[in-house]
Amino acid sequence: MKSDDRVVRSRNIGLSFRVTEEERKMIKERMKTAGIKNMRAFIVNQVLTGRIIHIELDSVNEMVRLLSNATNNINQIAKRTNETGNIYAVEIEELRKHYDELWTQAKEILRRLSAFGK
């Protein structure tokens, strides 16, 4: 305390923001789940210690593209097989290549996501 009996606060910078009624309800629900009754304490805790997850969608988009290619190849092979009764080894090898690329991409995405849990 200072000599004139005023309290010296370590948190001396005020922040203010507005939320919608729905957002306020959601904050209160999360506070209840966390067992925290003080909204300021809850918000400060979440801002300072909450996890920030940034998902790079480029990897997911690449996986969707590869999946689309593989699906198109399967459809083309099925159509040709139904028409001619034959399936060619080169077509099967191309499919295997696409699936290998898909699995590589999926494993990379899972590896990145699992890093968030650590």
- Condensed to tens digits (0 to 9), the pLDDT of residues 68-107 reads 888 888 888 888 888 888 888 888 888 888 888 888 888 8
Lowest mean pLDDT among 6-10, 17-21, 70-74, 89-93: 6-10
Domain residue limits at 20: 1-50
- Long-range CB contacts for residues 68-76, cutoff 8 Å, separation at least 24: 69/98, 70/95, 70/98, 70/99, 70/102, 73/98
Looking at the fold, whether 62 and 113 belong to one and the same domain comes out as: yes
Looking at the fold, whether 43 and 9 belong to one and the same domain comes out as: yes
The answer to whether residue 45 scores a pLDDT higher than 80 is yes
Looking at the fold, whether 44 and 63 belong to one and the same domain comes out as: no
Looking at the fold, whether 3 and 23 belong to one and the same domain comes out as: yes
pTM score = 0.44
